[in-house]
Amino acid sequence: MFDFSIVTSFVDNLLRQTLGLGDFWTILIECVLVGLGILVGYALLAIVLIFMERKVCAYFQCRIGPMRVGPWGIFQVFADVLKMLIKEIFAIDKADLLLYYVAPFLVIIASVGTFSFLPWNKGMSVLDFNVGIFMITAISSIGVVGIFMAGWGSNNKYSVVSAMRGAVQMISYEMSLGLCLICAVILTGTMQMSGIVDAQTGPWKWLIFQSPTAIIAFLVFLVSGNAEANRGPFDLAEAESELTAGYHTEYSGMGFGFYYLAEYLNLFVISGLASAVFLGGWAPVNIGLDAFDHVMNLIPGIFWFLGKSFLVVWILMWVRWTFPRLRIDQILKLEWKYLMPLMLLVLILTTAWVALV
Amino acid sequence: MKLNNIELNFDNFAGEMVKLKSEKHFDYLVTIIGEDFGEEGLGCIYILENTQSHERCSTKVIAKQVGEDYVIPSVLKIWNAADLLEREVFDFLGIKFLGHPDMRRLFMRNDFAGYPLRKDFNMSPEANRFPTTDEPETDFTTEWNLDKHGNLVATRHRLFDEDDFVVNFGPNHPSMHGVLRLQAVLDGETVKHIYPHLGYIHRGMEKMMESMTYPQTLAMTDRLNYLCAMMHRHALVGVIEDGMGIELSERIQYIRTIMDELQRIDNHLLYLGTAAQDMGALTAFLYCMRDREHVLNVMEETTGGRLIQNYYRIGGLQDDIDPNFVENTKTLCKYLRPMIQEYMDVFGDNVITHNRFEGVGPMGLEDSINYALTGPAGRAAGWHNDVRKNHPYACYGQVNFKEITLDGADAMARYMVHINELYQSLDIIEQLIDNIPEGEFYIKQKPIIKVPEGQWYFSVEGGAGEFGVYLDSRGDKSPYRLKMRPMGLTLTGAFDRMLRGQKVADLVTAGATIDFVIPDLDR
């Protein structure tokens, strides 16, 4: 199997030994390179996801989607991005300007932060340490603060209602999201992302095949992840038919662009986490037949990871374009009366499973 | 229906109206028509219906003059539907309704001077400059009463408390289906009050019609609820033909019935779509729009229009049906029947839809009648209010169809009434389409159309309720007073009652399922 650490150690050696740079410069240059990589990957994925969403939703709705800009409309999103970049960013009267301007950055920080935890390939993950799972849940909560600040700082009544909804919903669903991840931690015995994926390599070793409780945890993870990413049927915070655009009503240009980016990348982060934690991440399909497994192992892990993630993304898009929106009390009821108790039960069962099997 | 008004005077009016409701069971207030009767003075005509026998009657009362003001006792306590209807009369004619707690203008701006439907209103452009200032808004309403000396006294009521969180839904809002503005007082996510503000697309049609010849007035009706253009036109030509005593040929009646039903399908399809869209289910919306296109294509071949149909005229139709019309309509009916199940599959039967719709905006039978919630909204509460059954016009007396009534009285029931009515409309069309008799499509009229003296009221079943037109003719070539009963006005008036204590999201649900189109209620 292709191990990306060959590349990273080559670069490291190049800087340290061939160029003879000290610790400081080596790490600085490496950080800049990795940061660039992350941001470029982030932007490219956003463009792919937005295009995918437009096409997928079009086909669900008996339409063909964007077709004019470029062949099959593939440059439509580039045009949109360009438009968004050159739009004026203006401040509104009586807004709390500090909160108003800081909020989009918090949202994007949370999004990029969790994005950096994704294990792309063997030896290719940016942030990878022993309490990775905790760190992911911690960083993702920053986004709530951003949403709440945007809603409050905009001086718009729709935004305030939307911010309350967003905060209440995201804080609630973080409960079951965290519990799902803890189930995975119990099954794999590690909190490190690479460790979790490593534990899933080999024939029939993906987490959802390891234990029936993991299947439940995976499904709940998809539901609460969808809610965490504020996407339909949980898009109450935006709820365009009630609150026009919710907390980002008053943003223009890239201010709005950041929310838009973060929304799609959160979708990818949730799908990526789901595939990394429950579907084996970059681990290829292995069924125990040597010839078959060998062929599968030849395919680089990054393709497996992206393939699985986009499959989950597609499922979430399917859900979004099928279901109507829930109401706030129904959303909270779903979480606090059904999902959370269910996950507590699953947590106990998983512990028992690990102890007994 | 030619009106034979029961003449009442200021002193016995209140008592007689109570008696009409309690003793003769006239519990449905169809509409209130404010009119400047000329020498008689200002006054109102009330059209009432007995919901058991479907008998209609009308009463007329002349307003009493108190100094500069004209007053009539309010009937708000007898029929809740009178709330917006009386405000409309006050707005246009300046008649103050005694005891009505909310005597603000309804359509015109608060600072508008004069009362446009009075015959002495100064219409010159200089006197009616376009205002360039913001509309002044007040937190107070006024209630007028007579004290024991016969003087008008004003009582002020507060609309909002100091710490109320007031959110405007509209005039420009994605789910208001036009430019309606609902001022909602919220307590967190819970709705405490809703005050509707109308008039953002008020074009003064009734006033314009007073200076138009009868054929000219026809052009107005298509611009009301543009999804019910045919039915609106039907009511207007119906009342004029009634007045002139024109006998229509069978062919005209058949085609009008088919066209009305096609239009109803068009309206209901859009309704099903927008209801889904307001719930965030955009996919279901596009399914409905896709099929609505087929309906529009069928109508377009004959009428040439898709939104503005312009098809009926006084004495018949604009032109004969297209040679392919029968064939196309039959294909359409065959195509649509299985599609209705598809809307249920993609949206109506969804568990989230049920959760969002059930128990939302409850309005029982008694309230529905009291608030004059006509059309599918009333039928969802079990009120048999279908004008096609109760006062048959065109071919509706001859065809077999069921009047859909349910007893859920909530948003889900309203949605289901629409679904079931689609099947009924298809039934009606299929019964008629093969048997369109030969004959004239237009009964030739005199070059100048004049309606003899008298007052008529003619109503049809529109897509969202009863649409009626009242015509007062003085034998001239243009109407003396023409008043339309819009479908949406009473629906909007019921919002406050329907949504108090419910969630903000339910406001959108109720609006989506009650089916109003704003140009219709603003006129």
This complex has an ipTM of 0.79
Report pLDDT digits (tens) over B382-394.
888 888 888 888 8
Inter-chain touch A324–B352, beta carbons under 8 Å: yes
For the segment B254-276, the average pLDDT, to the nearest whole number, is: 90
Inter-chain touch B352–A325, beta carbons under 8 Å: yes
**B274 HSE (CA, 13 A, CB side):** 22
A239, closest residue in chain B (CA to CA): B280
Contact of B504 with chain A, judged by CB distance below 8 Å, is answered with: yes
**CA pair distance B80, A223, nearest whole angstrom:** 45
Contact of B278 with chain A, judged by CB distance below 8 Å, is answered with: yes
**CA pair distance A191, B394, nearest whole angstrom:** 76
* CATH 3.30.460.80 domain residues, chain B: 6-138
Inter-chain touch A324–B508, beta carbons under 8 Å: no
DSSP string, A205-223: -SHHHH-HHHHHHHHHHHH
How many CB atoms within 10 Å of residue B56? 18
Contact of B354 with chain A, judged by CB distance below 8 Å, is answered with: no
How far is A240 from chain B, CA to nearest CA, in Å? 7
B165, closest residue in chain A (CA to CA): A157
Are residues B485 and B523 in contact, defined by beta-carbon separation less than 8 angstroms? no
Is the model's pLDDT at B296 over the cut of 80?
yes
Chain B residues touching A338 at Cβ < 8 A: none
Please report the sign of the dihedral spanned by the C-alpha atoms of residue A150, residue A152, residue A156, residue A158: positive
A311: pLDDT confidence band, cut at 50, 70 and 90? very high
Q: In this predicted structure, what is the pLDDT of residue B225?
A: 81
Report pLDDT digits (tens) over B149-178.
878 888 888 888 778 888 888 788 877 777
Inter-chain touch B280–A325, beta carbons under 8 Å: yes
How far is A239 from chain B, CA to nearest CA, in Å? 7
Considering only CB atoms, A324 lies closest to which of B290, B350, B503, namely B350
B residues 280-299 closer than 8 Å to A (CB): 280-284, 286-287, 290
For the segment B348-365, the average pLDDT, to the nearest whole number, is: 86
| CATH level 3 topology of B205-522 | Cytochrome-c3 Hydrogenase; chain B (1.10.645)
- Residues near A165 by Cβ (< 8 Å), separated by ≥ 6? A236, A237, A239, A246, A328, B189
C-alpha distance from residue A103 to each of A39, A109, A185, A261, B379 (Å): 19, 10, 32, 14, 49
Is the model's pLDDT at A98 over the cut of 80?
yes
Q: In this predicted structure, what is the pLDDT of residue B522?
A: 84
Are residues B222 and B229 in contact, defined by beta-carbon separation less than 8 angstroms? yes
For the segment B138-142, the average pLDDT, to the nearest whole number, is: 83
User: Alpha helix locations (H) across B434-468?
Assistant: none
For the segment A171-195, the average pLDDT, to the nearest whole number, is: 87
Report pLDDT digits (tens) over A125-154.
778 888 888 888 888 888 888 888 888 888
User: Which of A343, A323, A328 is closest to A170 using CA atoms?
Assistant: A328
**CA pair distance B235, B1, nearest whole angstrom:** 12
Are residues A206 and A197 in contact, defined by beta-carbon separation less than 8 angstroms? no
Chain A residues touching B188 at Cβ < 8 A: 164
Considering only CB atoms, A60 lies closest to which of B186, B283, B504, namely B283
Inter-chain touch B286–A61, beta carbons under 8 Å: yes
**CA pair distance B333, B331, nearest whole angstrom:** 5
Rg (CA), chain B: 23
The token pair that represents A88 in the structure block: 């004026």
Chain A residues touching B189 at Cβ < 8 A: 161, 164-165, 328-329
A60, closest residue in chain B (CA to CA): B283
Taking every pair of Cα atoms in chain B, the longest distance, rounded to a whole number of angstroms, is 72
Chain B residues touching A164 at Cβ < 8 A: 188-189
Considering only CB atoms, B276 lies closest to which of A60, A235, A324, namely A324
Q: In this predicted structure, what is the pLDDT of residue B500?
A: 86
Considering only CB atoms, B281 lies closest to which of A158, A242, A324, namely A324
How far is A339 from chain B, CA to nearest CA, in Å? 16
| Mean pLDDT over each residue of chain A, to the nearest integer | 85
Is the model's pLDDT at A1 over the cut of 70?
no
Q: Give domain B6-138's CATH architecture.
A: 2-Layer Sandwich (3.30)
The token pair that represents A42 in the structure block: 């982030």
Are residues A60 and A53 in contact, defined by beta-carbon separation less than 8 angstroms? no
How far is A244 from chain B, CA to nearest CA, in Å? 6
* CATH 1.10.645.10 domain residues, chain B: 205-522
A237, closest residue in chain B (CA to CA): B505
**CA pair distance B147, B206, nearest whole angstrom:** 35
Inter-chain touch B276–A158, beta carbons under 8 Å: no
User: Alpha helix locations (H) across chain A?
Assistant: 5-13, 23-60, 76-85, 97-115, 132-140, 142-153, 157-188, 193-198, 207-210, 212-228, 240-243, 253-277, 290-298, 301-320, 328-333, 340-356
Are residues B415 and B275 in contact, defined by beta-carbon separation less than 8 angstroms? yes
Highest mean pLDDT pick, A89-98, B171-180, B496-505: B496-505
Contact of B165 with chain A, judged by CB distance below 8 Å, is answered with: yes
Report pLDDT digits (tens) over A43-82.
888 889 889 988 998 988 888 888 888 888 888 888 888 8
Query: Taking an 8 Å Cβ-Cβ cutoff, which residues of chain A contact chain B?
Result: 57, 60-63, 157-158, 161, 164-165, 232-233, 235-236, 239-242, 244, 321-330
Q: In this predicted structure, what is the pLDDT of residue A310?
A: 92
For the segment A264-292, the average pLDDT, to the nearest whole number, is: 85
Quote the percentage of chain B above a pLDDT of 70: 100
Chain A residues touching B507 at Cβ < 8 A: 242
**CA pair distance A143, A149, nearest whole angstrom:** 10
Considering only CB atoms, A327 lies closest to which of B168, B188, B356, namely B356
Are residues B48 and B32 in contact, defined by beta-carbon separation less than 8 angstroms? no
8-state DSSP, B168: E
Inter-chain touch B280–A239, beta carbons under 8 Å: yes
Report pLDDT digits (tens) over B208-253.
888 888 888 888 888 888 888 888 899 999 899 888 888 888 888 8
Are residues B260 and B460 in contact, defined by beta-carbon separation less than 8 angstroms? yes
Mutual angle of helices B282-303 and B250-278, in 10-degree steps: 160
Contact of B339 with chain A, judged by CB distance below 8 Å, is answered with: no
Is the model's pLDDT at A10 over the cut of 70?
yes
**CA pair distance B372, B467, nearest whole angstrom:** 12
- Mapped onto helix, strand or coil, the DSSP state of residue B359 is coil
**CA pair distance B367, B383, nearest whole angstrom:** 10
Could you give the angle at the alpha carbon of A60 between the alpha carbons of B178 and B347, nearest 5°? 60
**CA pair distance A324, B361, nearest whole angstrom:** 18
A159, closest residue in chain B (CA to CA): B167
**Torsion (CA) B258, B260, B261, B262 in degrees, nearest 10:** 80
Chain A residues touching B355 at Cβ < 8 A: 326-327, 330
What's phi and psi for B141, nearest 5 deg?
-120, 165
**Buried b / exposed e across B160-187, counting CB within 10 Å, b at 16+?**
eeeebebbebbbebbbbbbbbbbbbbbe
- Residues near B292 by Cβ (< 8 Å), separated by ≥ 6? B266, B269, B270, B273
For the segment A160-174, the average pLDDT, to the nearest whole number, is: 86
**CA pair distance A250, A231, nearest whole angstrom:** 20
B278, closest residue in chain A (CA to CA): A241
Inter-chain touch B278–A241, beta carbons under 8 Å: yes
**CA pair distance B504, B69, nearest whole angstrom:** 40
Inter-chain touch A323–B278, beta carbons under 8 Å: no
Q: In this predicted structure, what is the pLDDT of residue B465?
A: 86
B188, closest residue in chain A (CA to CA): A161
How far is A48 from chain B, CA to nearest CA, in Å? 22
For the segment A224-240, the average pLDDT, to the nearest whole number, is: 81
How far is B374 from chain A, CA to nearest CA, in Å? 25
Inter-chain touch B355–A322, beta carbons under 8 Å: no
For the segment A331-335, the average pLDDT, to the nearest whole number, is: 88
Inter-chain touch A232–B280, beta carbons under 8 Å: yes
B109: pLDDT confidence band, cut at 50, 70 and 90? confident
Considering only CB atoms, B352 lies closest to which of A239, A242, A323, namely A323
For the segment B370-375, the average pLDDT, to the nearest whole number, is: 88
Inter-chain touch A321–B283, beta carbons under 8 Å: yes
DSSP string, B295-352: HHHHHHHHHS-SSS---EETTEESSPPPTTHHHHHHHHHHHHHHHHHHHIIIIIT-HH
Chain A residues touching B346 at Cβ < 8 A: 322
- Residues near B299 by Cβ (< 8 Å), separated by ≥ 6? B259, B262, B263, B266, B305, B306, B309
**CA pair distance B39, B218, nearest whole angstrom:** 29
Chain B residues touching A330 at Cβ < 8 A: 352, 355-356
- Residues near A355 by Cβ (< 8 Å), separated by ≥ 6? none
How far is B163 from chain A, CA to nearest CA, in Å? 14
Instruction: Return the amino acid letter for A313.
Output: V
Strands B6-8 and B56-62: parallel
* Total length of chain B: 523
CA B446 from centroid of its chain's CA atoms: 31
How far is B178 from chain A, CA to nearest CA, in Å? 13
For chain A, report the end-to-end CA distance as a whole number of angstroms: 30
Contact of B167 with chain A, judged by CB distance below 8 Å, is answered with: yes
Contact of B506 with chain A, judged by CB distance below 8 Å, is answered with: yes
Inter-chain touch B355–A327, beta carbons under 8 Å: yes
How far is A330 from chain B, CA to nearest CA, in Å? 8
Contact of B44 with chain A, judged by CB distance below 8 Å, is answered with: no
Pick from B290, B506, B508 the residue to mutate for testing the A interface (most A CBs within 10 Å): B508
